[in-house]
Amino acid sequence: MEAVTDFASLLVMVTLALVCPILADRIPRHIVPETVFLLMLGAAFGPYGLGLIHTNEVIGFLSELGCGFLFLLAGREIEPSMLSGHEGRRGLAAWGVSFVVAVAISGLLPRVGYGTTTGWATAIMLTTTAIGTLMPILAERGLVGTPVGDGVVSYGTWGEICPIVAIVMLLSARVAWQSAVILLGLVLLCVVIARHGASARRRGTRVYRLMVEKANGTAQTMVRLTMFLLVLLVTISAVFDVDIVLGAFAAGFVLQYLVPKGDEAFDQKLGGMGYGFFIPVFFIYSGTRIDVTAVASRPVMLAVFILALLLVRSVPVFVLAATDRANPRRLSVRASASVAVYCATALPLVVAVTTIAVAAGAMSQGMASVLVAAGAVTVFLMPLLGQLAIRAAGASELDVATLAEDTADLGPAVVEAAGHARMRERHAARIALRMHIEHMIESGESPEAVARYLAEELHFEGDEHRVHAVERRIERMQGSHRRVY
């Protein structure tokens, strides 16, 4: 009988997962992400709603796998250079400022105080950025690879990593040095796996060749390798009582060194497994944990938490992004505002932190429902505000140097031209070229025409491969522009 209940709950969840993309497509301009519908319908059909989804251990375990997949895919998308580079360092500084402000605010709240479990939990939640949730939204809106999209990744990734570390260090029952040793051990394990895997790939060892040869057959070796990494690192996280998000994110990061990005067939398989089943189950399950009655009885608290997220997370990101004069892909004030509000999107870690706080007796289930609901609201509200800011900024922050830079295979002539363009950023010739390219793209000129014009200006018109590479990049830009407007 219990198995029947599990399958019935799962049937409801996969039905909702199937319906949500259809509902999202009905909304003009796709301003409501599919994730919002998953959360809303999860709340409506869960224990606090119609009661058609029973949240037992089986469904909870599937949800954890979905959370793991979400962060694995996010970790695979993150470029290491975006974290260690100039913009990444400013992203880390922005999170540090956010955390200091969050600690100060949480300490002033009634029944919270400094140094308490509730205080640390509140501070951590106010500094989170749901980069795993944002990646599919950015992809849907054509922002991946644009200055705004890269800014969200550079600033937002630290809003995912640092709160995870803070959870381990501040909300664990262990002493701080034990938590630090566990984190260091996990990092070293990831480094060892990545180095040996990358070495085997470069040398083309027999085992690696076998994995590649059987990657597309019934063995699906690369997918099995991915699942091994995910389950291995998540299991280690669980054994040492570390949030599984850390292990899943690390698995995605390590996977880059074993299977480099650009393998479209492999990425489609992972996306099919994740977004086709596990990730929708996670979001629907997260929605079932929202007690709608408790949320409705505390509307002020809901609004205060959302405003606090904007204050604590968005303001430091906006200030550091808007004043970044050393960044060659400098963002305008409005584009910086877009990056900042996107970074205030929070959900998965809010779920994780509230779960820990409720289990420790530091937070009531009603309060947790309000905070999870606030996180769900940000998944709709912040991308919407970010989209409006991009529209005001002029679509995708189109830039000639960026266009050449993002098509790295264009050769020395284009790279040199882009370099000179950056050094002469305010020179009239570059501005004129940029404005003309923007006008051609925004007016709907064909990608081929724009690519050939740019090829003539940058003197690579004889190289068809390079022209087609630029043409593909322009197609993505125009797709982003149409979605924004």
> Is the C-alpha dihedral spanning 427, 389, 349, 272 positive or negative?
negative
Phi/psi region, residue 407 (left: phi>0; alpha: psi -120 to 50; beta: rest), is beta
DSSP, collapsed to helix, strand or coil, labels residue 446 as coil
Q: What pLDDT does residue 28 have?
A: 77
Q: What pLDDT does residue 408 have?
A: 43
Strands (E), 112-160: none
- Ordered structural domains, the chain, with CATH: 77-260+293-393 (1.20.1530.20), 400-484 (no CATH)
Comparing C-alpha atoms, which of 61, 75, 16 is closest to residue 42? 16
57-77 vs 221-239: helix axis angle to the nearest 10?
A: 110
Comparing C-alpha atoms, which of 409, 463, 458 is closest to residue 429? 458
Looking at residue 426, the DSSP 8-state letter turns out to be T
The amino acid that residue 91 corresponds to is G
Comparing C-alpha atoms, which of 18, 419, 319 is closest to residue 410? 419
Burial of 61 (0-12, 13-18, 19+ CB in 10 A): exposed
- In angstroms, the CA 317 to CA 343 distance is 8
Comparing C-alpha atoms, which of 115, 134, 107, 124 is closest to residue 163? 124
- In angstroms, the CA 339 to CA 149 distance is 8
Looking at residue 313, the DSSP 8-state letter turns out to be I
Burial of 398 (0-12, 13-18, 19+ CB in 10 A): buried
Question: Looking only at Cα atoms, what is the longest distance across the chain?
Answer: 75
Burial profile 420-459: b = 16 or more Cβ within 10 angstroms, e = fewer: ebbeeeeeeebeebbeebbebbbeeeebeebbebbbeebe
- In angstroms, the CA 472 to CA 447 distance is 8
Q: Which pair of tokens denotes residue 464? A: 């068809």
Measure CA 446 to chain center: 31
Burial profile 245-256: b = 16 or more Cβ within 10 angstroms, e = fewer: bbbbbbbbbbbb
Burial of 108 (0-12, 13-18, 19+ CB in 10 A): exposed
**Residue numbers of the chain with a pLDDT score lower than 50:** 395-399, 401-402, 404-427, 481-485
Q: Are 1 and 41 in contact (CB under 8 A)?
A: no
Comparing C-alpha atoms, which of 383, 454, 452, 444 is closest to residue 417? 454
Q: Are 201 and 208 in contact (CB under 8 A)?
A: yes
Q: How far is CA 416 from CA 113, 408, 464, in A?
A: 56, 11, 19
279-288 vs 34-45: helix axis angle to the nearest 10?
A: 50
- In angstroms, the CA 147 to CA 417 distance is 19
Q: For the whole model, what pTM was predicted?
A: 0.74
Strands (E), 70-209: none
